[in-house]
Amino acid sequence: MNIKIKFYFQLALLSIILYFINLVFNSLFFEIYFLIPLWKIYVFNTALVLITFWTIKLLTKTKLNLLFSFVIASINKMLLTILFVYPIINFDGNKQGLIATFFIIYFIFLFFEIKSLQKVFDR
């Protein structure tokens, strides 16, 4: 299987599995009011991984090295995350569970992204 197709398949599988685990966990143990629906958080994080992957792929075709490309992609990712999380920050209600859920998901996807990029670009 092509490494890129394998990456896309693993990303989709990770997103779906984590979403359903999170959905079950939140319905059984916690009742978190999601100002931003849970599925949108997963779509956003999946899109961030794809945008980072495509940005790095595009920038490495130029004369920029991999590390500099990763830094540019990470800065873009941080700016998009701030824009996405802005409504949560301005929310007056209980937002600790929502912020914790968002950043746990964010860091799981970040870990997946770094491991996948290592595999893709080591070849």
- This prediction has a pTM of 0.83
CA 119 to chain centre: 18
CA distance 70 to 52: 8
Q: What is the domain range of residue 72?
A: 3-121
Indicate the number of domains in the chain: 1
The pLDDT profile of the chain, 123 residues, written as one tens digit per residue, is 677 788 889 999 999 999 998 888 877 776 666 677 888 889 999 999 998 888 888 877 787 777 787 888 889 889 998 898 888 777 776 677 777 788 888 999 999 988 888 877 775
Residue 65's H or E segment, with its range, is none
CA distance 42 to 109: 9
User: Alpha carbon of 108 to those of 41, 45, 90, 115: distances in Å?
Assistant: 13, 10, 25, 11
